[in-house]
Structure 1
């Protein structure tokens, strides 16, 4: 006879959703499913339920000092926001916000910019670049540790892997920077009055310089910023500096022009990373047209006497294939004495 699991024996959380199930539920059809377009095969979208897409096993797990795995801390943190999402959508449908509901709207906005693979891959690629550059400098100075000297002539090409768990530690700083940027913006809720649904993605928070008409560079944080975040097939959050004059509470405005809805969907599809989502197949062509590129790391390393400068940002390009971190294949740990003459 099997006994019921106790609190200490609760089921292990394996599927960590980087796109909230609650968020995606707005896009489901009468069968409770939505169209999930994979960026590596956009011509054949999957017709699946929200629980069966937008996840990766143990994506937010952390190793404890004793070697055990914490699968729950980040999931609990995100779940605290996700459980409030239906309340936010009710306020959107009603056309009225109170400060408490606004808090959860902006919490979801921040979370969906910083928890997702587009953000974590960006940070992983940057960490790898910094590691490679640092060891190239040590090699030029003749201070490369003996354990790594066999790589001295191939530091431009040798595979550099990063323990992806390290990118969990960058999320708090990413959230702070994103919050600082959004404080310069005013917001409005755009409601589709054309019957043309908004789409969304696994990287649904898109922002850019509005003077960059072709959006050549994503995620520019200059003086001017334009931001879009689909809330449901009928509503999208729009942010811009010029909207600040309307006050802290988002205003509500209807869109009666199909070309405007199409333009927002085009932005959403361009920013999509691994996945785009829709309630039907009416945006197949649009999603497929932009599936090959996404916002990725754009970095220049400038060497100056006594220092290294990293000029970093984003560009639209093919998604990086990041090498998987395998501890068993890594060099032995480096210690202070390894860097001594």
Structure 2
């Protein structure tokens, strides 16, 4: 029997894009309006594909309601409210005309493309897994591990733990607020690329880091100084930095004629890519493949103190984690506070 969608019919919004189709449309070319999509696990064989055929997962933003039915639309409607205005934003950028409404929609897209993507959601899932594992180890040491879990007592460092992915949706609001706080410290400019070398993009297109970190060893460092890049199209990119605040709240437009700078931005974009990179042509094959094995992932250290557990978390460039799929039928059964003698 089919579950009902939020509109009360058997019609479901099944295909949830984690990279906006209207955003990717800037990279299409030719009568077929296709782009080149590079899968990180097989970057040597890019797909020539339409934007609506890539960068999605079935029911990726769906939530289970209290009555057991599935809400496939709430997050899709939220994102759609931003995506609908994106063509208008791009038209304004091309004629270098920015008003308050355009800026609001521009920054809304940037925020969305930092927090809705698999790189962000998987990061939060990794944190939840770490917290669950650490908590179980503490309860084991206290002798309060539930009877259902005692057979794992000697393998809590290695036992498989799967997190219900829906839980990471609740972290998106916190991530949006945190990212918003970061952007308030930055000034912005629109880089107009006239070098003839396209900007590329990815499924994790918002990159920021400490500019004093030579080689960008640690991504998404939120230090006193921050550098941010977000490709808008093959010829436009948003650049943010603390030093740009002196130019005021409205981003200035700056022509970029230095081909080495464009390549540097593309290198950053390729490094921050998670599962997919995108380009209008095949001239970036080597660059994308060179950085396809690693992405920004969780970097964590747990510090145990007598009455406190401290989590020191951040990002590092490393191989992407293989997260376990949550399967309710394989769970140990419901656990409640009384199971932990709380």
TM-score of the superposed pair, with normalisation by structure 1: 0.97
Using the TM superposition, give the Cα deviation of residue 143 of structure 1 relative to its aligned residue in structure 2, in angstroms: 1.3
SS across alignment from 1:40: helix
Could you tell me which residue of structure 1 aligns to residue 29 of structure 2? 29
Matching residue of 1:168: 169
CA-CA distance at 1:185 after TM superposition: 0.1
CA distance in 2, matches of 1:8, 1:112: 30
Taking the aligned partners of 1:56 and 1:252, their CA distance within structure 2 comes to: 36
Output the CA distance in 1 between the equivalents of 2:118 and 2:108.
Answer: 18
Match of 2:213 in 1: 212
Question: Residues 108-257 of structure 1: matches in 2 within 5 Å?
Answer: 108-257=109-258
Q: Which residue of 2 aligns with 1:49?
A: 50
1:64 shift after superposition: 0.6
- Cα offsets for 1:121-162 (capped at 9, x unmatched): 000010000000001011111111111111000000000110
Instruction: State whether residues 218 and 317 of structure 2, in contact with CA within 8 Å, keep that contact through their aligned partners in structure 1.
Output: yes
- Shift in Å at residue 336 of structure 1? 2.4
How far the C-alpha of 1:338 sits from its partner, in A, is 1.2
Q: Which residue of 1 aligns with 2:17?
A: 17
State which drifts further: 153-162 or 330-339: 330-339
Structure 2 unaligned runs (5+)? Answer: 1-6
CA distance in 1, matches of 2:142, 2:263: 55
CA RMSD after TM alignment: 0.9
Cα distance, 1:89 vs. partner?
0.4
Q: What SS does structure 2 have at the residue aligned with 1:211?
A: coil
| Structure-2 separation of matches of 1:8 and 1:159 | 37
Could you say what secondary structure the match of 1:230 adopts?
A: strand
Per-residue CA deviation, residues 9-45 of structure 1 (Å, 9 max, x unaligned), is 3731111000000000000011200000000000000
Aligned residue in 2 for 1:76: 77
Name the SS for the 1:120 alignment partner.
helix
Counterpart in 1 of 2:60?
Answer: 59
Contact 2:16 2:58 survives alignment (8 Å): yes
1:29-85 per-position Cα deviation (integer Å, ceiling 9, x unaligned): 112000000000000000000000000000000001111100000000000000000
Distance, in Å, in 2 between the alignment partners of 1:119 and 1:177 is: 13
Evaluate the alpha carbon distance shift between residue 145 and residue 36 of structure 1 in structure 2; reply closer, same or farther with a 3 A threshold: same
1:294 maps to 295
- CA separation in 2, counterparts of 1:265 and 1:201? 10
SS in 2 for 1:44: coil
Whole-Å separation in 2 of the counterparts to 1:25 and 1:147: 51
Give the drift of 1:213.
1.9
Unmatched segments (≥5 aa) in structure 1: 1-6
- The 3-state SS of whatever aligns with 2:45 is strand
Distance between the aligned counterparts of 1:88 and 1:96, measured in 2? 9
Distance in 2, Cα, partners of 1:309 & 1:12: 42
- C-alpha separation in 2, matches of 1:22 and 1:303: 47
CA distance in 1, matches of 2:73, 2:194: 41
Give, in whole Å, the separation in 2 of the partners of 1:131 and 1:28.
43
Residues in 1 aligned to 2:330 and 2:133: alpha-carbon distance in whole angstroms: 17
> Counterparts of 1:261-340 in structure 2 under 5 Å?
261-340=262-341
Shift in CA distance, 108/10, structure 1 to aligned 2, threshold 3 Å: farther
